[in-house]
Amino acid sequence: MSMTTVGLAHYLVVSVVLLCLGLYCVLTRRNAIGVLMGIELILNSAGINFVAVSRYGSAGFDGQVFAVFIIMLAAAESAIGLAVVLGIYRRMRAIDTSRLTTLQG
């Protein structure tokens, strides 16, 4: 595989980069919305992964179907996640995760 043509490895690298960024975002953000955005990045990295493996592999369209599912899932997730955050905000007047420690044991 030559460096000039865009192959599977490129996609995977992008996907890993994206995953790392997402994880970083999730781990470091104190803003709940930021956390949600990090999660979006992780989901999308997974989506790229699926499509890329599907395109270069021999599994037909399964990967694409999964990617569509993930997009749909991400939409639903962000909708519910934002609603939860909104609910938390209404109750706690805060969306800083370091302050949302009522579940502490």
* Residue 100 sits in the site that holds another protein (CB under 8 A): yes
Residue in 14, 26, 37, 73 binding another protein, rule: CB under 8 A? 26
Q: How far is CA 11 from CA 1, 4, 45, 47, in A?
A: 14, 14, 9, 11
**Nearest distance from residue 8's CB to another protein, in Å?**
19
Contact 32, 97 (CB under 8 A): yes
Residue in 27, 58, 90, 93 binding another protein, rule: CB under 8 A? 27
Residue in 18, 35, 36, 43 binding another protein, rule: CB under 8 A? 35
Residue in 12, 23, 53, 95 binding another protein, rule: CB under 8 A? 23
Place of tokens 């493996």: 53
Sign for the pseudo-dihedral over CA of 9, 15, 18, 20: negative
* Residue 95 sits in the site that holds another protein (CB under 8 A): no
How many residues of this chain interact with another protein, rule: CB under 8 A?
A: 15
Residues 6+ apart with CB under 8 A from 35: 25, 26, 29, 97
Single-letter residue type at 76: A
Residues in touch with another protein (CB under 8 A): 23, 26-28, 30, 32, 35, 97-98, 100-105
